[in-house]
Each structure stands twice: as structure tokens, then as C-alpha cells.
Structure 1
């Protein structure tokens, strides 16, 4: 897809041009936040058929939304939000008093890094826009955000569906820890462990696209998965040092080689 300069008078002033017909920005109004929450509801609740989480307002929201920044990718032609990422800075996490991940994991070993971490979550892309361009835009915005916040570590949970009874989650975990397990000093412990040791692994692991992208970018899996009964998933806690970004993704994110070396 060729890069083009986009001019649209009816777009928010803080939207910056991106490739093709997509633009990346940060949600700055209550209306834009509601667009984000509607997209999340469509993808996380309706598509996954999680009837226990259905809401009459059609919004996926929680108390963390008010403290977070929300990256959005918008289709210029339709002005629809087609991708989003929720980011919690170290400053906002300190004000809130906790991280979202702490609801699932004991992060005690990471206490000394709290001032240098950005937590990312609720990554969400409209089904019709999953060709790769949207996630690249979101991750480029994420890298810009980390530099702006002077943070060196990206953390967050990556979910694996349990729709098959958990067999794929077991297979994915067993496959990935061989190469991507974090050093011992970065390990975390799930509050509600997923019983991967009691289930037979699927023969052919199907690694979710987002999780695969994290691994290719140099992220670590920081321990055993947690069980999230609300979203019917096994969640892995991930940490990605900014210095671990591989050169292919560094070019996409705009991170200079000198920054990676430092």
C-alpha cells in the first residue's frame, strides 16, 4: 500500500496522516471514546457470543477507560473507527493505584519497573480490516506513546480462546515458552491459574495473530497463563522491552537503530 497525504477537513485536528485510507489518532472526546467502546463490544462481546457480558448500551467499558489513553485507527472514507488500543501510562497507573493486569497476576517482581512501564490492552480490530495495516498503525502509535512517556517496557495480557476446551491454549503455551520465556526476575504468578497441566495439547497450535506479532517483536511470556472466566480465555502476561524490538518492526514503528542499541 502506497503512502499518501490525506486531507479531510471534517477529521479531528489531531489526526495525523497515515498510509492509504487509514489515519491514526488519540481519542480526545467522549464521543470518540464511545466509538472505541462500541467497536470493542462488537468484537469482544457480540462476535464471541459472551452473553454474560451483554450490555443494553452496546458498550464495552470499565473503570480503567477513564484513566487510559485510547489509540484509534479510522477509515477516512467512512470515518468509522476500525481499530483501537488502550494504553495506561505509569503516571495514570500510579493515580489509579493499580494495573489492569493485577486483577489476574501478582506483579510483585516488577515493582521496581512500575515507573517505566506502559500497559496495553483491549487491542481490537474490525473483522473487515484485519489485513495488517491497522495493527501496524496501532503499534507505531504505541511506540510513539512509549517514547513520549519515557517508558522502556510494554506490558499486558494476551488472550487465547478456550472455545475448543482449552487444548489449543495448552499447545500454544507449550510451543512459545521454549523460545520466549522471560528471565526469572521478570516472572509473574496468576491468581487463578489455567490448568494447562491437566489438559491434552492440540496437535497443531493455532497462535492468535496478535500474540504471534508480539513474539516476533521480541516480547517475553512472563509465566504460566491465568484463566479469565468472564472472557472465556487463557491469558498470558507479556513484557516487551523497547530495546527488544526487532529491526523489521523498528522500521515500521519509526524507532531508530541507535535507540534500540541504547
Structure 2
């Protein structure tokens, strides 16, 4: 089912096992560089999978998965709940949407792919009355020192508000350092997380070491009500 058509690209929901398998293969390529591999887990069957295709060739150029939760009482069903104590979010009384496995094809560098992906997500958020978008934002590798500047920036400026404090659950975690923030720290923030932060997003006070995915990740939340009006207008302009 198409969600958004814009120029060269269209976003749709995966509706068949083959379409899901295509997304899993793209994820393996994007995350591990494995052209013949499959990235799959037990959460795939609980999620909607959004596919972004080149309308001319039909090639799959981007994808992500979404899990809609009716409110915070269902937060333990989320992928993120494996890694974080999300007890505080159980008090959230409105629909929530978990975003995961967001990736684009490494051979397609057109920024319009990401814009279409976000435009489709905006339509879903508005259509479902979602009030909180959340997920795990990843940094490559498991060496926290390699991301010290980025982590210092997150701790200094973007920690979760006290009512939504994210607790420690995973066995291997790294506290975000209370350290000076270099002037160029933002350039060390991954692009997806940078987008979240531009929307008023916030993060956990620690990163989880995920050796299976060879990443460090921070829990990330964006309250829809906190997104700056100018940013909302941009997103809705893409969503049409």
C-alpha cells in the first residue's frame, strides 16, 4: 500500500513475505556490508515495514520498521525495552511509535530518499495520533572513546526530561561523560539522531554496548508536541 509518492521515490508498507525479505536483505547490506545476508529478528513480525523505492527501476533504496503502541502501558513490548528500563514511560497516556532499523542503500546517496522516508512517517504519525516517537540511535562500533565528543554533547544539552528518565537495564553500558563539549561535536552525531535532536529530541544518560550489532546506542525520544513549528511545517510539506 502506497503511503507517499514524491518525485522519483515512493514509500509503501510491505505487504508480502517477499517484500519483508527484501527489507531484511537491505538491512544486512546497510548495517553489515553483507550483500548476501539477512538481518532479521523476532520483532519483525510485530512491526510495519516501510519501503522506499526508486519509481523508475523499482529498486529498494530505503526502509525502516515501526511498532505502534496504544500508550505507555505497552512499552515493554518494544524492541528498546530489551536494553533500557522504560518504567517511567509507562505513565505516557497517548499513542507511541517505535522506529527501528532505519537505513538506505549504500549505492543511493540522494537525500530525497530520507525526505520521502520522513514524509511517510509524518503521515503515519498524524494519521495515528502519535504523541511520542522513540527508538535506539546507533553509533558505529563498541569503543565509547571514539564517540566521546558526541556523547559529551548529548549529556550537556539533550538528556531526557526528569519525568521520562531512562533507567539502566543492559549488562554493558557506558555513562555519557560529563566533559567539555568541542565546538564541532555535532558533526560527530549520526544523521538520524541529528534529525531527532533538531525536532527537540532527547536521549538516555548512558549508551548500551550492543555487540551483536557492533554498535553503541542511546535511547531517543521525540515528543510530537515539542517539535518546533518550523520543523513541523517542513515535514508536512514533504508529506503533502
Q: Report TM bin, short chain.
A: 0.7 to 0.9
The structure-2 alpha-carbon separation of the partners of 1:239 and 1:198, relative to structure 1 and needing over 3 Å to count, comes to closer
1:47-89 deviation per Cα after TM superposition (whole angstroms, max 9, x unaligned)? 6xxxxxxxx9721111111110011110012101111111001
| Residue 231 of structure 1, aligned match among 207, 213, 216 | 213
**Post-superposition offset of 1:16:** 4.9
Q: 1:181–1:220: 8 Å Cα contact kept in structure 2?
A: yes
Where in structure 2 are there 5+ consecutive unaligned residues?
Answer: none
Structure 2 counterpart of 1:82: 61
* Residues 131, 225 of structure 2: 8 Å contact kept: yes
Pick from 79, 82, 107 the counterpart of residue 100 of structure 1.
79
Q: Is the 8 A contact 1:67 1:96 kept in 2?
A: no
2:181 is aligned with 1:194: no
1:166 and 2:153 correspond: no
Aligned-CA RMSD value: 2.9
Q: Give the conservation status (yes or no) of the 8 Å contact 1:168–1:201.
A: no
Q: What CA distance in whole angstroms lies between the structure 1 residues aligned with 2:21 and 2:69?
A: 24
Partner of 2:103: 124
Total equivalences in the alignment: 233
Deviation by residue 1:173-200 (Cα, 9 ceiling, x = unmatched): 1112322222111111232312555999
SS at match of 2:206: coil
Checking the alignment, whether the CA contact within 8 Å between 2:98 and 2:135 is kept in structure 1 is yes
Residue in 2 that maps onto 1:258 = none
Larger strand proportion of the pair: 2
Choose between structure 1 and 2 for higher RCO, CA contacts under 8 A separated by at least 6 residues: 2
The whole-number CA distance in structure 2 between the counterparts of 1:180 and 1:148 is: 28
1:245 aligns with 2:227: yes
Higher Rg = 1
Map 1:107-118 to 2 at 5 A: 107-113=86-92, 115-118=94-97
Which deviates more, 151-160 or 17-26?
17-26
Is the 8 Å Cα contact of residues 85 and 120 (structure 1) preserved in structure 2? yes
TM-score (norm 1): 0.79
Distance in 1 between the 2:80 and 2:87 partners? Answer: 12
Gaps of 5+ in 1: 1-13, 48-55, 256-262
Judge which range, 140-149 or 64-73, deviates more.
140-149
